[in-house]
Every structure is written in structure tokens, then in C-alpha cells.
A = this chain, B = another copy of it.
């Protein structure tokens, strides 16, 4: 291993100077710095992150906690965060809570505590009080993405507004019989996102003077299969069939599209469908949707953290940061049948 001492010798300076030259570079004359950099490059020197961390207390590493990795939204957030971190010279260590309660406990009781990360990004996580306490005990910056986290700055889209936008799009097209596929109980416990989307849907209907019928609401589990089932039920009744479906996620919306086809209905002639997310597959299915931008959310989370990690975090960010969303109209929505 080539250490800092080797570089110092090679450049004819002290290790202190090497350290300063290679990091930040304040208080080093330009010519010295160049010499040091050249020596370092020539010797192939890379600072030992452990030694550096121990001495400085900075880890150059961010922990990202996700409930799953295998859903488009989460993977995208992680990808965005990862890329932004890389630009800043930070590593990303991933904590996945998929492994059940025991795994979850060990993350909070052990892994996050060993001084390995400078900060934590929690994606769509509903944390118990105890877990939040643990994190705060770390005394490290913490930012949330997508889940409402008590007392933690969180990036989120305004789910109510998102749902209203989607529903209003359908109303504007002339629909008056609009069904909604939302989250089921299990999801409601973890995030209150589904509930907010339902409220937004109801608010839009109410504003348009349309009555929200109980039978036009179906809970599902945010998967394509779930959306399929729900849509089959909604569309299965030949009379009294809704002319439009607003699904709380694109996966469920896609399931609805497939269900409609299987029932012999043509989208959008017989029924309109709109989702939320702008999932990878949405374009392929010609699905209208309200896009949110998870990659950007991941990136933004990193920016916020970098700001907080600055020596003097002047501009402390507020508690809730609203992320953009946007209506994307494709072929799955149109005016209702006469």
C-alpha cells in the first residue's frame, strides 16, 4: 500500500501538507499543491477512507434506508441519490428492510450506529418513535423521501394535489362516473400516501359537484395484479359501469388496462385510465399519468444533505420540501362514450 508518507517523501513535503493539498487545498501554495498532486497521481495514491474518517470524523458515506429495492420508485430514488453522491465523492451504503423484523431491528440497533455514515436518507419509511429516536441519537442529519416523517425534513410530492390533478383531468374530459383504485389497509399503515390520494380524488369530485360513490372505490396492493383484480370488479358490471378509473399507481393502472382489454373494452373508447408515477412502462402502455420524478427526488435529497453537512449550515432547509409533479397525457384517457 502506498501511504501518505510515501507521497510526502516523493514530493518533498510533510504529510500535513499532502493532506491539505489533496483535500480542499486551502493554505497550500499552488505550486506545492501541483507537485503533491503529481506525486499522488504518479504513485497511484488514494487516501485511506478509514484513516481519514477516524482522524476527521467525516465518513464520506451516506446511509440509504429503503423498504424494498425491487420497485421502480425505490430503485429510482436510490439511483438518483447514488449518482448525486458519486459526484460529491460520497459512497452510498444501502440498508434494506425487506428482511423482516429481525433485520429491521439490526439495522437500527446496530448497523446505523457504528459511525459509518455521515447522514441518512430514509425512503418512504414509516419509522417508529423508537427508531426515530435512535436516528436522532446519532446526531446525524436525516432526510426523508416520500414518507411523512415526524420532525424530519422530507421531500414529498403533494399527494392530495397529485390526485386532484389526475381526477380533474378526467372531469375536464367530461367524465362523471370516475372510479378510484387506492391503497389497501396494509399500505395505509406504512405510508398515508394512499389516503391522501383518495382525499384528493374526493376533493376534486366534490369541487365538480360529483358525488363519490362507495362502490366506485376499490383498495388494492399497488401491484399490477392487484389493479387488475380491482378493475375487473369495477368494470365487470355492464350497467352502472364507471367510464374512467384513477389508479393510485401506474402498476395498478396498467393492471386496469389489461383488465379492461380482457373484458372486451377498448381504452380509451369505453373507459379511460390514469395512474400516478410515470413508471418506466407507462409510455409503452400509452398510459396517461401524473408523473413524479423519483430520480430527482433522490438527487435532491442528497443536495439537502450536502447543505446540512457543510461546516456552517446557514440555510437550514424547512421541514417539508415539495417536489414537482406533472400531468402526462397519453392515449389512455379521452372523453367518455356518448
- Residues in B neighbouring A98, C-beta threshold 8 A: 79, 83
Does any Cβ of B come within 8 Å of A86's Cβ? yes
> Can you name the residue of chain B whose Cβ is closest to the Cβ of A90?
B111
With A70-B76, A79-B98, A106-B86 known to touch, is A284 a contact of B93 (CB < 8 Å)? no
Enumerate A1-20 residues with CB–CB distance to B below 8 Å.
1
Task: Identify which of B54, B78, B89, B111 contacts A86 (C-beta below 8 A).
Answer: B111
Please tell me which one of the listed residues B46, B91, B228 contacts residue A284 in the complex, with CB atoms under 8 A apart.
B228
Give the residues in chain B near A107, CB-CB below 8 Å: 86
Chain B residue nearest to A57 (CB atoms) is B50
Chain B residues closer than 8 Å to A281, beta-carbon distance? 224
Q: Are B83 and A103 in contact (CB under 8 A)?
A: yes
Mark interface residues in A70-95 (1 if CB within 8 Å of B CB, else 0): 10100110110011001001011111
Q: How far is the CB of A324 from chain B (nearest CB, A)?
A: 20
A184 at interface, CB cutoff 8 A: no
| Complex Cα–Cα for A302 and B69 (A) | 18
Q: How far is the CA of A78 from the CA of B281 in the complex (A)?
A: 22
Interface residue range, chain A: 35 or more
Contacts of A69 in B (CB 8 A): 69, 75, 78-79, 82
Residues of B within 8 Å of A115, CB to CB, are 1, 46, 48-50
How far, in Å, is A250 (CB) from chain B's closest CB?
13
Knowing A72-B70, A110-B46, A111-B86 touch, does A93 contact B96 (C-beta < 8 A)? Answer: no
Q: Is A61 in contact with chain B by the CB < 8 A criterion?
A: yes
> Nearest CB to that of A71 among chain B residues?
B75
Q: Is A113 an interface residue (CB 8 A)?
A: yes
Nearest B residue to A137 via CB reads B44
Q: Which of A46, A50, A59, A91 has its CB near the most chain B CB atoms (within 10 A)? A: A50
A238 part of interface (Cβ distance < 8 Å): no
Roughly how many angstroms separate A304 CA and B48 CA in the complex, as a whole number? 26
In the assembled complex, how far is the CB of residue A288 from the closest CB belonging to chain B, in whole angstroms?
Answer: 17
> Closest 4 A-B residue pairs measured CB to CB?
A46-B113, A50-B53, A49-B114, A70-B75
- Known pairs A69-B69, A86-B99, A86-B111; list 20 more (Cβ under 8 Å): A1-B115, A46-B110, A47-B114, A48-B114, A50-B116, A51-B54, A69-B75, A69-B78, A70-B280, A79-B96, A79-B98, A82-B94, A82-B96, A83-B98, A83-B99, A91-B93, A91-B111, A94-B94, A224-B284, A225-B283
